[in-house]
Amino acid sequence: MDGLDPADPGWIGGYRLLGRLGEGGMGRVYLARSERGRTVAVKVVKEELARKPDFRRRFAQEVKAAQRVGGDWTAPVLDADTEAPTPWVATGYVAGPSLAEVVDKQYGPLPPQSVRALAIGLIRALQAIHGAGLVHRDLKPSNVLVTIDGPRVIDFGIARALDTAVQSADGLTKPGALVGSPGFMAPEQVRGERVTFASDVFCLGAVLAYTATGRLPFGTADGGIHSLLFRIAEEEADLEDIPDAWQGLIAACLAKDPAQRPSLDTLLASAEGMPGAPVGRDGRGGAWLPGEVLAELGRHAVRLLDSEDPQGPAPTPSPVPGASASARIPSPAPASNPAPASNPGPASSPIPVSSPVPGFGPPLAYSPTAPSWQSPQPGSQHPHSPLPGSLHPQGPLPGGLHPHSPPPGHLQAPHFSAPAYGSRLPTPRSTRGLSIALALLLALFVVPLLLRIAVLGVAYSRLSAAASTSATDLIKDYKYLSVASLGTEVLTVFVGIAVVIVWAFWFQRSRLNAEAFAPGHIRHASGMAAGSWFIPVVNFYMPKQIGNDIWTATTGRPSGAGRWLLHTWWWFWLAYFLAYANDSWASWYDRDLAVAATDTIVTSQAANVLGIVTAVLAILFVRRLTNLQRARMAGGA
């Protein structure tokens, strides 16, 4: 286990973080302790998943279902907040190594009595999981924790929430997208077909074969992941060295056709009837593990006790501002109190525990190394070699951008003060409606500018025909031209006010979206996205700073990505702002002499041209940024 990074929160919900247990396809897992002293594992969902409404909905459903899973063979789901800016779930911490560690590193293949006890425990765990309406979807050795009392199954159910990121409209997994772990996937998972309870039975057979032989029944991915998946889907399993008594049961579990696999009740009866097992019918009642493994469990427990938090009780926390009470899903079992302040103090020293992540949801990648007890066998059909990890998406989802990290090859944007953990981050919302209204208003803004150019052109010709020292009000059609000029000015002001109002709303909404994409990477407070436009001098630089940060957070790149459009629009807008401010002091018809009136018209015409170019660039800028943010929210490129 690793210590906490400076960017890690000190608290999540009512749990004080002690260290990092690891990171998997769904998010990061922490070792934590509740206010009552219970040690738990807290999994925090990745932000790019949390931004997906389908994932949040499925995540909440699966958490509720997982809390209904009872029995003694699973890690209980204690608490969760599925509506937090970054959803999380807390499970009971199982202080024991994984089956993968026991077989790969500590002992090797387990004896028949251990296989029997393991099978009974896993079958009963699957019965409890299936009874809650869940399919585990990722049963494998690293998801089975070994304790003195028997195995414990972790990470059940939430794989289905992650699966929504790679599902088609009919609920089937998209071609080329796999949610599972190679070597322990059912054929229907490999093909992207619907996963059922029978899929867990296949995975159970693979786990039992691995436990009895120390080998994966379909080999490893040394020859490529596709060859491994082909063997799972089309070839028979390698059941050599499996004890004769277990050959039939494991072979039945590994049937290619889900309909041909036995039920859990049938498997339980077969496992309980296995001969030569000194344990009870419930898988307990004796030492189910070899002495070497039991000794390691004892040492593991001593390390955990010796590393207890040396600090006293945590201070009484205050509720998280804006936390949703209805979103919190406490388990019926005693768990924790409402969420505390984000970080009441420094985290305690990390506990040097070497156990796997006993969390909830898709687990860490399982990549077994060659065990110390097994030497390489020349010519082996399925060499024992490192197995690729979980096929859950790591980093960006297919076609999407990671909200906190730029794409490979690009620099990270400057990091500014991030919101406190537990504070409510903005939820990305489409700005399409605002952008359409803004584009229409900007187009409408061009109309009075064009009319003004035409009127001023006529006035300029009349003034040029008169003597330079002539009075302005003596030119031909002065009355009509002055009224027309005033009318275009008033129309420009009214449309401009509407543009400014809608612009402020659109810009602030875009800034909130950018904060959701990259928390802590946007300069200045959210309100300044609208307010900075109206503060003298500040409006010369702050909106541009915010615009740069919005573009970086949206595209994931601190440069390029069409940023020239932002720069070009900004400098034209600044030039128009200064020209308009100069032009608004007086109109040509307010000048006494014709020569002064013509000079004013020249300045006004330059401002009008700048205004038209700025409006066109603004329309392009608004359209581009809106489309980028929509694509980001949709997970597109």
Cite the active site residues: 138
- Most distant pair of Cα atoms in the chain: their distance: 121
What DSSP string runs through 220-244? -STT-HHHHHHHHHHSPP--TTS-H
Taking alpha carbons only, the member of 23, 211, 221 closest to residue 101 is: 211
What DSSP string runs through 136-169? -S---GGGEEEETTEEEE-S-STHHHHHGGGB-T
Cross-strand bridge partners of residue 32: 17, 40
Q: Which structure tokens are listed for 388?
A: 């690729």
Taking alpha carbons only, the member of 134, 144, 124 closest to residue 267 is: 124
Taking alpha carbons only, the member of 224, 220, 241 closest to residue 385 is: 220
Please answer whether residues 598 and 474 qualify as being in contact, where contact means their C-beta atoms are separated by less than 8 angstroms: no
Residue with tokens 């059941």: 239
State the CB neighbour count (10 A cutoff) for residue 322: 11
CA distance 355 to 376: 26
In terms of residues, how long is the chain?
637
Q: What is the CA radius of gyration of the chain?
A: 33
Please answer whether residues 322 and 425 qualify as being in contact, where contact means their C-beta atoms are separated by less than 8 angstroms: no
Determine if residue 174 is labeled as part of a ligand binding site. Answer: no
Terminus-to-terminus CA distance in the chain, angstroms? 35
- Tell me if residue 474 falls in helix, strand or coil: helix
Please answer whether residues 532 and 511 qualify as being in contact, where contact means their C-beta atoms are separated by less than 8 angstroms: no
Run of H or E including 78: strand 77-81
State the CB neighbour count (10 A cutoff) for residue 328: 18
* Angle formed by the axes of helices 244-253 and 264-272, nearest 10°: 170
Q: What is the dihedral of CA 186, 187, 190, 195, to 10 degrees?
A: -60
Please answer whether residues 605 and 587 qualify as being in contact, where contact means their C-beta atoms are separated by less than 8 angstroms: no
CA distance 228 to 183: 7
Please give the angle made by the CA atoms of 543, 544 and 545, to the nearest 5 degrees: 90
Buried b (16+ CB within 10 A) or exposed e, 40-67: bbbbbbbbbbbbbeebbebbbbbbebbb
Q: Which residues are annotated as a binding site for ATP?
A: 52
Q: Which residues are annotated as a binding site?
A: 52
